[in-house]
Amino acid sequence: MSAVVLDTLPNSRHRLELEDVDSERSVDSITRKPTSSQSSHPVNDEESYIAYDDECIYGDVQPIQKKQTIQRVLVRVAIFITIALASLGLCLVLAHETLDIEIPRTLAELKESAIHLELVAQETTTGYMHVTFVFAVLYLWQQAFSIPGSILLNLLAGYLYGAAMGGLWTSALTAGGATLAYLLAYLICEPFMDLTWVNNKMDVIRTQVNVNKKNGGLFWWLLFARLFPFTPYWFMNMAAPMLEIPVMPFFVSTFFGSLPYNFVSCQAGEVIGQINTTADIFTFSMIIKMAIVSIISLIPVVFGSKIKKYMNDRVAQKEGNINLQHYDPIPVLPV
C-alpha cells in the first residue's frame, strides 16, 4: 500500500522521505520485530551543494567584515581630516583678521607674537578681550585635534597672563579641548573599535575603568592617568566616550591633571626673552618644581578613598545615620 502512495506523490523529495520512514518502520519477516535502519540519511546533490555553498559563505565572512571595517574607518578619517582642516582655516582667518598674527611654530615667531599681543592687550579692554578670545580658540583647536606643540602656547600664556593665571587658564582650556575631543570621538571613533590593536588596548583600559567604577574611584584613576600618562592623551580622549566615562569627571580630572605641567611651562614663559630653545625651559629647577607640584597633586589620588570615607561618615553623623560596622560589638557580661 505504501508503494502505491509513494508512486502517486508528485514530489520526489517527499517520496524519498516516506521511503526512509517505511524503512525505519520495517518488520523482520521471521521474528516479526521492528527493525531500525543503521544507514544514515542519504544526502542528495541539492543538499551537498547547499552545504558547500554555506562553507564558502561562512569562510568569507571574516575577510568581508575586515574590508567593511576598513572602509568605515577610512570614511571616518576623511570626516575627521575635513573637520580639522575647515576649523583650522577658520582659526587662521580669525587670528589674522583680528590680531594680524599667525600660529607660532618656532620660538622666534612666538617671541614676535608675544610682543605684538602684549601691545594689543595693553591698549584697550577690547584689545585684551580679543587677545584672550583668539588665544582660547587656538588652544581649544589644538587640544581638540591632539596637535602637538602646546608648549609654545603655554609659554605665550605665561608671558601674557603670568604663571598663576596662565597655568589656570591653560588648564581650563586643556580640559575644554579634551572635552571637545571626547565629543568628536562619538562621531569618529566607533569603527576603530573593530580594529584588533585598538580593541586590545581598550580591553586593558576597560578592565581598569570598570574596577574603579565599582569601587567609586573612577575620578582618582582618571586624575592619576593625567598626572602620569601611561597612555597618550589623544588615545584617552578617544577611548573615554567608548568606555562610557562621564563627561564631568573627565573634564575635572583633565583640568587638575594638566595643571602641574601647564604651571611650570607658564612660569618659564614669564622670562620668554631668556629662552633660546625648548631645552632651556626644563632646567633643573623647573623639573624640581614640576616634581613638587606633581607630588602635591598626588595627595588626593593616594588618600582619595580615605577622604571620601571620612566625608561620608561626617555626613552620616550629621544626618543621624550611624554606621554600626565601625564600632566594636558590646561585650556580653558573664552571668
In a domain, 245, yes or no: yes
- Residue 181 pLDDT > 90: yes
Q: What is the pLDDT of residues 271-321, one digit of tens each?
A: 776 666 666 666 666 667 666 766 665 666 566 556 666 666 666 666 655
In a domain, 334, yes or no: no
In this prediction, residues 119-128 reach a mean pLDDT of 89
Q: Can you give the pLDDT at residue 317?
A: 67
Let me know whether 183 and 85 are in one domain.
Answer: yes
Same domain, 133 and 89: yes
Per-residue pLDDT tens over the stretch 95-117: 888 888 887 778 888 888 888 89
Q: How confident is the model over 210-230, as a mean pLDDT? A: 83
Q: Is residue 249 part of a domain?
A: yes
Domain that holds residue 36: 1-42
The average confidence (pLDDT) of the chain is 75
- The residue that leads in pLDDT, 2 or 87, is 87
What pLDDT does 310 receive?
A: 64
Same structural domain for residues 125 and 248?
A: yes
Is position 218 within any domain? no
Is residue 191 domain-resident?
A: yes
Q: Give yes or no for residue 2 having a pLDDT over 60.
A: no
Q: Are residues 143 and 196 in the same domain?
A: yes
Q: Is residue 313 part of a domain?
A: no
Q: Are residues 127 and 269 in the same domain?
A: yes
- Residue 54: count of CB within 10 angstroms of its CB: 10
Are 81 and 24 found together in one domain? no
Whole-number pLDDT of residue 142? 92
Name the domain count of the chain: 2
Does some domain include residue 267?
Answer: yes
In a domain, 317, yes or no: no
Check pLDDT > 90 for residue 87: yes
125 shares its domain with 247: yes
pLDDT of residue 306: 64
pLDDT above 90 coverage of the chain, percent: 22
What's the pLDDT tens digit per position in 141-177? Answer: 999 998 887 888 999 999 999 989 999 999 999 999 9
- Are 93 and 166 members of one domain? yes
